[in-house]
Amino acid sequence: MNGTGRWQGTLILIVALIVLWQILYWIVGDIALRSPWQTLSFTVKLLQKPSFWPHLIETGKAFAAALFFAVALGLAIGMTLGLKRIAGDVFEPMLVALYSIPKVTLYPILLLTFGLGISAKIAFGALHGFIPVSLFTINAVRNVRPIFLKTGRVLRLNRFTMITRIVFPAAMPEIFSGLRIGFSLTMIGTVLGEMFASQKGLGYLLMNAIGLHNVDIIMAITFMLVVFAASMSGLLLAIDRRLHRRV
C-alpha cells in the first residue's frame, strides 16, 4: 500500500471507531459511559485544571526515565548477546520466557526493593521495555552481513569503533523495531505500575476514580492514554517502515 492509501485507511478507521463509540454510548447511556464529544470536552477541561498537571508530569517523568533505562539496558544486553554466539543461545530463551510471564506479579518484589514511589514505577516500566529492545537487538546484530564484520576486522577496528561504526548502523532498522515495541511496552508497564499501590500519576487517578464512580475522569484518562499510545506508535511505525525501505 502507498503512503496516501495508508493515511486514508487510518482516517476511515478512526471515523469508524468514533461512530462505534457513539453507538455504544447510545446503548449503554450516561451511567457508565460518555459520548466522544463529552469525553473530548472533559479532557480539555481536565488539562486546564492545575491540580491535574502534577499527575501528568509524574507519569511523564516516570515514563521518560523508564524508557531511558529500558533502551540503555536493552541495547547493552542485545549487543553483548548478539556478538557472543554462545551467550546469546543461553540467555535468549530466558528473555523470551520473561516476556511471556505476567510481569505484574513481579511488581511487589520491585516495590519491596525500591520502596513505594517513583523508582519502583520506573523499574517496572523498564522491566517491560528492555526485553523487546534486547531481543530485537540480538537478532539485528546476528543478521549483520559477515562481510561488514570482516572488513572491520581487516581494518583492525577496536571493539568500540566496530560497534559504533559498523554493527550499530548496519543493524539500525531492526533495532528501531525493537525500540518501537519497547516504547509501547514501557508505557504499558509504567501505567500498570501506577494502577497498583501508587499515590500519584495517571494510573492512580484512574483507579481512584473507580471508588468515586467518576466516569468523566475514567473516560478522559483512558482516552488520553489511548490517543497518546496509538499516535506515538503510528509515528514510530512510519519511521520504522522508512528505515526498512532504505536498506
Partner 1 sequence: MKRTGILRILVIAGLIGLLEVLCRVGVIDNFTMPPPSRIAYDLWRILITGKFNAAIAKTFSNAALAFVLAVTIGIAAGVIIHAMRPLREALDPFFATYYAIPVLAFYPLLIILFGLGDAPKIIIAFMLGVVAIIVNTLNGLDRVPRVLLKTARMARLNPIATAIKITLPSATPYLLTGIKFAVAYSLIGIIGSEFVMSTNGIGFEIAFAYNNFDNATMYPLILLVMIVSISINTGLGLWEKMLLSRRGLR
Q: Where do contacts with partner 1 occur on this chain (CB under 8 A)? A: 1, 5-6, 9-10, 12-13, 16, 28, 32-33, 86, 89-91, 93-94, 96-97, 100-109, 111-113, 181, 183-184, 187-188, 191-192, 195-197, 203, 206-207, 209-210, 213, 215, 218-219, 221-222, 225-226, 229-230, 232-234, 237
How far is C-alpha 62 from the chain's CA centre?
A: 12
Residue number with CB closer to partner 1 (25 or 152): 25
CA end-to-end distance (rounded Å), the chain: 18
Rounded to the nearest whole angstrom, what is the least distance from the CB of residue 105 to partner 1 in the complex? 5
Rounded to the nearest whole angstrom, what is the least distance from the CB of residue 155 to partner 1 in the complex? 32
Rounded to the nearest whole angstrom, what is the least distance from the CB of residue 61 to partner 1 in the complex? 17
Rounded to the nearest whole angstrom, what is the least distance from the CB of residue 184 to partner 1 in the complex? 4
Residue number with CB closer to partner 1 (169 or 234): 234
Q: Which amino acid is at 14?
A: I
Rounded to the nearest whole angstrom, what is the least distance from the CB of residue 191 to partner 1 in the complex? 5
Residue number with CB closer to partner 1 (141 or 170): 141
Residue number with CB closer to partner 1 (120 or 170): 120
Q: Are 70 and 129 in contact (CB under 8 A)?
A: yes
Q: How far apart are CA 240 and CA 237, in angstroms?
A: 5
Residue number with CB closer to partner 1 (18 or 157): 18
C-alpha cell of residue 124 = 517496572
Residue number with CB closer to partner 1 (62 or 166): 62
Rounded to the nearest whole angstrom, what is the least distance from the CB of residue 25 to partner 1 in the complex? 12
C-alpha cell of residue 207 = 483507579
Q: How far apart are CA 126 and CA 98, in angstroms?
A: 13
